[in-house]
């Protein structure tokens, strides 16, 4: 007689009751904990819900506050669970958002087959600063492309043992890490400190991220570089 393999999970009758209770407790606790960080979301959400213009990103902008928390949590789980495999992979690259570029439309990034790269045109640009950190660890950085999966596949063809650091906003980082994970590329990430692109502002402006966290991830993997020792 062929024995059935034991199930990976087996839901009990009270599963949904427990899940609802857990979700409600986590949401209440999380929104209280991040009250300061998320305090402007509700006003933006209300405004976006009443916006009847013909823009193409209504759904994205109409994201309610609990979903920011959910995405932040998803990021944290992916980041933590990928840590070991990220550190074990030989090569690393960084995927950068356009909105970090100080010069915005006047950014002089150059096209390559793996994505555009920073031309280091101004010293105060956060992308330039990130690339100076990345240089110390022999890590490349590419601006993200709309079709992220295709971009990652192209980079993956060049390097077999690969890991990625994604830099992105709260609503998009976890999904990008998931895309990388599905291709077998362990991902870690750093959030933008705030948003500034066309989805959130009529006059887009350059955003910022935590440079020290980018470096901390690289130090954990490669050890201190000569110039930071």
Contacting range for ligand SF4; rule: CB under 6 A; set: 86-94, 103-111, 158-166, 185-193: 103-111
Give the one residue of 41, 69, 99, 102 binding ligand SF4; rule: CB under 6 A: 102
Decide: is 108 part of the binding site for ligand SF4 (CB under 6 A). yes
Largest Cα–Cα separation, the chain: 71
Q: Which is nearer to ligand SF4, 65 or 109 (CB)?
A: 109
Decide: is 99 part of the binding site for ligand SF4 (CB under 6 A). no
As a whole number of angstroms, the distance between CA 121 and CA 107 comes to 8
Give the one residue of 128, 144, 151, 209 binding ligand SF4; rule: CB under 6 A: 128
- Are 71 and 168 in contact by the 8 Å Cβ rule? The answer is no
- Residue 99's region, left for phi above 0, alpha for psi from -120 to 50, else beta, is alpha
As a whole number of angstroms, the distance between CA 163 and CA 89 comes to 6
Contacting range for ligand SF4; rule: CB under 6 A; set: 4-12, 56-64, 125-133, 166-174: 125-133
Q: At what angle do helices 211-222 and 126-136 cross, to 10 degrees?
A: 10
Decide: is 127 part of the binding site for ligand SF4 (CB under 6 A). yes
- Which residues contact ligand SF4 (rule: CB under 6 A)? 101-103, 107-109, 118-122, 125, 127-128
């Amino acid at each position: 007689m062929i024995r059935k393999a034991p199930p990976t999970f087996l839901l009990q009758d009270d599963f949904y009751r427990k899940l609802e209770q857990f979700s409600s407790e986590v949401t209440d606790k999380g929104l209280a904990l991040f009250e300061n960080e998320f305090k402007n979301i509700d006003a933006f959400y209300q405004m976006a819900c009443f916006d009847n213009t013909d823009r193409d990103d209504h759904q994205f902008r109409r994201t309610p506050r609990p979903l920011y928390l959910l995405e932040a949590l998803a990021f944290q789980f992916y980041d933590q669970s990928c840590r070991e495999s990220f550190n074990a992979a030989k090569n690393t690259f960084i995927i950068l958002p356009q909105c970090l570029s100080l010069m915005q439309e006047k950014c002089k990034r150059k096209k390559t087959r793996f994505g555009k790269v920073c031309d280091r045109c101004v010293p105060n640009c956060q992308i330039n600063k990130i690339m100076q950190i990345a240089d110390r660890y022999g890590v490349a950085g590419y601006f993200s492309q709309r079709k992220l999966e295709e971009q990652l596949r192209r980079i993956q063809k060049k390097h077999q043992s690969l890991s990625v650091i994604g830099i992105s906003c709260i609503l998009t980082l976890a999904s990008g890490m998931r895309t990388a994970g599905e291709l077998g590329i362990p991902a870690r990430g750093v959030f933008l400190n705030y948003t500034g692109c066309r989805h959130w502002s009529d006059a887009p402006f350059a955003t910022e991220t935590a440079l020290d966290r980018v470096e901390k991830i690289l130090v954990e993997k490669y050890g201190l570089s000569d110039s930071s020792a």
